[in-house]
Each structure stands twice: as structure tokens, then as C-alpha cells.
Amino acid sequence: MGEDFQRNQLKELKETALPCFQCGVCSSSCPVFRVSPELNPRLSVDSIISRGKVPSEGNEWLCAYCLMCDQRCPMGVSLAEILMVIKNISAREGKAPPDVIESAESLMADGCQSPISSRSEKQREDMGLPKLPRANPADVQMLFRATGAAEVVELNRKAVEEASE
Amino acid sequence: MKFAFFPGCTMAYRLPFAEKSIRMVAPHFDIELVDLAFTCCPEPNTVRALSDDTWITFAARNIALAEAEGLDILTACAGCHESLSLAKHELDKKPERKNKVNELLKGLGLEYRGTSKIVHMHQQLFDEIGIETISSKVVKPVPIKVVTHTGCHLLRPERILHVDSAEVPVKLDMLCEAIGMVPLDYMDKTMCCGAGVRKTNSVTSYAVLREKMTSIAMVEPDAIVVFCPTCFITFESGQRVANRIFGTDFKFPVFYYTELLAIAMNLPGMDILLAEHRVKIELPASAETKEERKTGAKDSIPSSP
Ligand code: SF4
Ligand code: SF4
């Protein structure tokens, strides 16, 4: 998988980004660019079209996936979706932010992204809310492993450990 | 109408009072809610960003559970709504992805077929039940000035979601008007609350929130109305963090729409729920009857273009 997977994804990305004529409407509509110019969505497409490379700075993780760029692009290029694919590539390289990995681990543990505490269960009960049925943890883990996320989580855990050594 | 109810992790375990308000109003609009063993939707910014295949498979499993019961899904969170709707769109459009997902779901005794619709509470109230029916249930109008924030993931991608106009959303304002509130327009109405980057860069996330809140503060509303638990938490708790980081002074009360609806319908038990809010509001007593409100409405200034 690994490299082939990446090469294919990059080829596809280049095709989706091709209609872009660098007008910059995406960047001027981006709420993150407004406060953190490190995320310039226009430049990330440019780098894919002209160099066939994902930008190396890792700024894709600054994208809030608010889809404003997607909404406004006059050429129908969805930078939000392109950045999502870039995040997938970056995660496979062990570059996912630690908090993102933590949320994924929580999902793997109890099927829910905000960890379910006994306090929150109690609060529900006090309000007269029903106990919500939960997915079988074995099923959750099976799907996690079979779809590649378990591997990505592990890879990123290792990257963090290596960096701290 | 009977639905598989999808409160989502954030609402269920961090904002249970908002979930309670949905369950309180539901029977009054003939909505019956069934709870199924759903997982997280899953959230795009974490799970989908790590592995697109994992995201679509979990979403398909959730939808397949509802399909097995022959029910449409009623969502309460914008994030869940967008995630499930996008997954459904992708699965219905690409048979090869659907088949791949179904290979895995077979092992769990499930199959994604594409028979269930994904409907957000916003759509059910505005598009199905309608403003007139909602107003007709109001016994205690809530006379406050509000700004609405429909939320990125109810508005975009517009070509798939069709909840409201992505550039000029007005439906939530109309829902607010229906229960006696005065919605105000503001500059950055369709801008993100910043929640999407909180896990990757929190200062950036609160800087986005600061921009949004600055635009809101300009029109001096009494409260902010949302239709998503994540936006709720970002505004309500996030404004304090923004204040600490940037020296701003935001303290707006925040409401999930059905909380205000329950108040306007004078349903018992709302005071307990409001006690859970971190920024409290003194709701002005509304002495006027419904008749007065109807005649008064003629002079009101339309708030949306
Ligand atoms: S708005 Fe579209 S065409 Fe314009 S720079 Fe952005 S991606 Fe390119
Ligand atoms: S989706 Fe990402 S890149 Fe696009 S406007 Fe939103 S934050 Fe910016």
C-alpha cells in the first residue's frame, strides 16, 4: 500500500485541482487565513498543480474544514476536500497532531469521541435522559483495524515517542 | 413521525440539557425518537482526517442500523449531520465504495442500502413542521434580541446539504421570530466558530472565535442562538478562553434553539435545564398574549434581507 497509495492520491488531487486559476477567492474567504496566514489554501493547490507535491509545512492541519473555500470557488474546486486528502497523506507519514490521535483512540475505546465519564452518565440519569445503547466494542475495534485507522494511530504514536526520545 | 435519533457524542455527553430540550418538544410535534447503538458519526476533523475509509465505514454502519429498523435519522448536531450526509452522498454515488464498506458490515450482520434519509432537527422544524405550526404552540413568547449562527456544517457543502442558503441563511432567524424573538443581522453570519481547529491549534481556533464574536458584539444581541452542540460549547465556554488570550470581554448567553422553543411553549422543567448554562440570562417576562403579539408583528422591522 504505502507509496502507491500516495502516488495515486496525488495524481487524483492534481486532476481535481487543475481548474484552479489562482484567483485567491478561497484564501480571502478562509476564516483561518484571516487570523493565521500560515494556512493559505490557494498556495496549497498551487503546490499540487505546479510541483505535484503536497506542501511540506504541515499547515493542512490548520484547516477547520468549514467549507467556505468550497462554497465560493468559482471553478468548483473544493480545497476543503483537497486538504482532507492531504491530511490523510500527512497522517500516514506520522504527522497528525497528538490531540487528533487522542480523539481517534477514544473512539476506538468506546465508540464515542468525547470520552464517556461516569459523571456524564450520572448527569444524563438525573435529567431523566435514557441510557443510550452502545456499540459492541469488539465491532468498533474490528472496523478500526480493517479500515486502516488503527495502523495510522499506531504509526503516529510511535512518531511522538521517537520525537520525545 | 418516527426517527432514529442521533444526538451525537458531544450533545449526549457534554450538552445533555440541549438533548433534553429536543426530547421535551418532540412529542408536541408528533416526533417519536428511537435510540440505537450508534457510534460517533464520526467527526471529520479527527477520524476522517486520519483515514477516509474508516470515516465512511463507521458512518455507513450508523446509517445501516437505522435502515435495518426502516427509519430515517434525525440529527441534532451540525457536525454529525454533515458527516452522515456526506458519507451517504459518497456511498450512493460510488457503488465500489459501497460494496467495499458492505464487505465489512456483512460481518456485523448489517448492510448499507441507501434507504434512510438524514434529517437535521432544523430541517424537520422549518421544512416539515413549519413556522405557523410552531408559532401556534407558543404560549410565552421570548422577547429578546438574538443573533443566529446556523453553523458551517448545516450550510456547507450547499450542493449536498440543502438546509438553507449558504451565503444568506434566514431560516433559523425565522424560527426565532416564530417564538417571539427579534433576530439581528451581523457581518460574519456565515463564518466558522473556530471549533474545527481547536484540536490542532487552539490559539488559531480562539482567534477565529474572537473575529466571529467581535462581529456579533457590534449588533449588541441579548443572546446567541445555535443549532449545534459543538458551536454551543465553542461560543459559551470558548468566549472565556478568548477573553483570557486576547483581553476581550465577551459574555453572551448561548442557547440551542429547542431550549428556547421549550421555554416559549412553557414546558415544565426548563428552569433546571437553564441552570446548566454557564452564562445566565434573565428572560424578560412576556405579559402579552398571543393576540397582541400577532398584531404587534405588523410593525416589526424585517431583520433579514
Ligand atoms: S477560489 Fe478556486 S480557482 Fe480561486 S484560487 Fe481558490 S481554488 Fe483556485
Ligand atoms: S475549509 Fe479550511 S481552507 Fe477552506 S475556508 Fe475553511 S478553514 Fe479555510
In the predicted model, what is the mean pLDDT of chain A?
A: 90
Residue B132 lies in a domain: no
pLDDT confidence of residue B295: 43
A residues 128..147 contacting B (CB < 8 A): 128-130, 132-136, 139-140, 142-144, 146-147
Whether B127 is covered by a domain: the verdict is no
Assess if residue B144 is contained within a domain. yes
Same domain for A104 and A65: no
Q: What is the pLDDT of residue B271?
A: 84
CB contact under 8 A, A31 and B192: yes
Q: Which residues, at least 6 apart from B283, have a Cβ–Cβ distance to it below 8 Å? A: B142, B144, B263
Nearest C-alpha of chain A: how many angstroms from B290? 31
Mean pLDDT calculated for residue range A67-76: 97
pLDDT band per the 50, 70, 90 thresholds, residue B297: very low
Whether residues B152 and B288 share a domain: the answer is: yes
Q: Does B200 touch chain A (CB under 8 A)?
A: yes
The domain in which residue B200 lies consists of 138-295
Q: What is the pLDDT of residues A28-68, one digit of tens each?
A: 999 999 999 999 999 988 888 888 888 878 899 999 999 99
Report pLDDT for A55.
Answer: 82
Domain boundary among A69, A92, A115: A92
Ligand 2 atom with the shortest distance to the CA of B192: 6
Quote the pLDDT of residue B292: 45
User: Taking 90 as the threshold, does the pLDDT of residue A161 lie above it?
Assistant: no
Q: What is the pLDDT at residue A2?
A: 62
Over residues A6-35, the pLDDT tens digits come to: 788 888 899 999 999 999 999 999 999 999
The model's confidence at residue B180, banded by pLDDT at 50, 70 and 90, is very high
Q: Are residues A132 and A78 in the same domain?
A: no
Determine whether B236 is exposed, middle or buried from the number of CB atoms within 10 Å of its CB (0-12, 13-18, 19+). buried
Task: Please give the distance, rounded to the nearest whole angstrom, from the Cα atom of residue A44 to the centre of ligand 1.
Answer: 10
Residue at a domain's end among B94, B121, B148: B121
Residue with the smallest CA separation from ligand 2 atom 4 is A69
- Looking at the fold, whether B89 and B178 belong to one and the same domain comes out as no
Pocket of ligand 2, beta carbon within 6 A: A 29-32, 41, 63-69, 79-80, 83
With an 8 Å Cβ cutoff, are B9 and A112 in contact?
A: yes
Question: Which residue, among A152, A113, A101, has the nearest Cα to B53 in the 3D structure?
Answer: A152
Structure confidence at residue B287 as a pLDDT band (50, 70, 90): low
Residue B106 within any structural domain of the chain: yes
B177, B222: one domain = yes
Atom of ligand 1 nearest to the CA of A27: 6
Nearest to A35 among B40, B196, B208 (CB): B208
Query: Which range is least confidently modeled, A8-17, A116-125, B201-210, B277-286?
Result: B277-286
- The answer to whether residues A47 and A78 belong to one domain is yes
Asked if the structure places residue B128 within a domain, the reply is no
Looking at residue B294, its pLDDT comes to: 46
The mean pLDDT of chain B is: 93
Query: How does pLDDT run across A134-145, given as a tens digit for each residue?
Result: 999 999 999 999
Q: How confident is the model at residue B293 (pLDDT cuts 50, 70, 90)?
A: very low
Residue pair B86/B160 in contact by the 8 Å Cβ criterion: yes
Which pTM value belongs to this model?
A: 0.93
HEC sequence for A101-161: HHHHHHHHHHCCCCCCCHHHHHHHHHCCCCCCCCCCHHHHHHHHHHCCHHHHHHHHHHHHH
The average pLDDT across A70-84 equals 96
CA distance B66 to B87: 14
Domain residue limits at A113: 98-164
Q: What's the domain count of chain A?
A: 2
Beta-carbon separation of B44 and A124 below 8 A: no
Considering the domain architecture, whether residues A25 and A102 belong to the same structural domain is answered as no
> What integer is the mean pLDDT of B245-270?
96
**Option in B17, B50, B197 nearest A91 (CB):** B50
pLDDT digits (tens, 9 = 90+) for B64-115: 999 999 999 999 999 999 999 999 999 999 999 999 999 999 999 999 999 9
The Cα–Cα gap between A88 and A100 comes to 12
User: Above 90 in pLDDT, residue A115?
Assistant: no
Of B37, B46, B208, which is closest to A133 when you measure between CB atoms? Answer: B37
Whether the pLDDT of residue B298 is over 60: the answer is: no
What is the residue with the minimal CA distance to atom 2 of ligand 1?
A73
Helix axes B16-25, A118-126, angle to 10 degrees: 30
